[in-house]
């Protein structure tokens, strides 16, 4: 993925906003004490569920753009996964609890 892709721009923006490091390796892009975030583009949105599997506490899919955010809302419907836009605004709150 290019360093200037909408995915990378969004992940870096959200990491800075939440004052956490962007994880460019395997697994979710942003892992904080109080939330886990996976940034996806529309064409890779189905990877998000797998990336967030097994994480406790609130988990979110962040759409890298408007189309991805719309797809994320569809994917997260009737799940414990929350959705945020590329600016970190929560559109669907995660209901996943820490165990």
Asked, for residue 14, whether it belongs to a domain, the answer is: yes
Report how far residue 45's alpha carbon sits from residue 74's, in angstroms, rounded to the nearest whole number: 10
Q: Please say if the pLDDT value at position 2 is more than 70.
A: no
Asked, for residue 99, whether it belongs to a domain, the answer is: no
Asked, for residue 38, whether it belongs to a domain, the answer is: yes
Asked, for residue 94, whether it belongs to a domain, the answer is: no
Give the closest residue to 29 by CA, choosing from 43, 46, 9: 9
Please state whether beta strands 30-31 and 36-40 pair in parallel, antiparallel, or not at all (unpaired). Answer: antiparallel
Report how far residue 22's alpha carbon sits from residue 94's, in angstroms, rounded to the nearest whole number: 20
Summarize pLDDT for 53-86 with one digit per residue, the tens.
999 999 999 999 999 999 999 999 999 999 999 9
Quote the domain boundaries for residue 75: 6-89
Q: Please say if the pLDDT value at position 98 is more than 80.
A: no
């Amino acid at each position: 993925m290019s360093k200037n892709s909408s995915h990378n721009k969004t992940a870096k923006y959200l990491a800075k906003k939440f004052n956490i490091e962007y994880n460019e390796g395997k697994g979710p892009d942003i892992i904080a004490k109080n939330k886990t975030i996976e940034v996806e583009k529309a064409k890779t949105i189905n990877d998000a569920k797998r990336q967030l599997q097994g994480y406790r506490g609130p988990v979110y899919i962040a759409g890298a753009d408007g189309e991805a955010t719309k797809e994320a809302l569809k994917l997260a419907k009737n799940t414990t996964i929350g959705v945020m836009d590329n600016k970190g605004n929560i559109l669907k709150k995660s209901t996943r609890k820490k165990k």
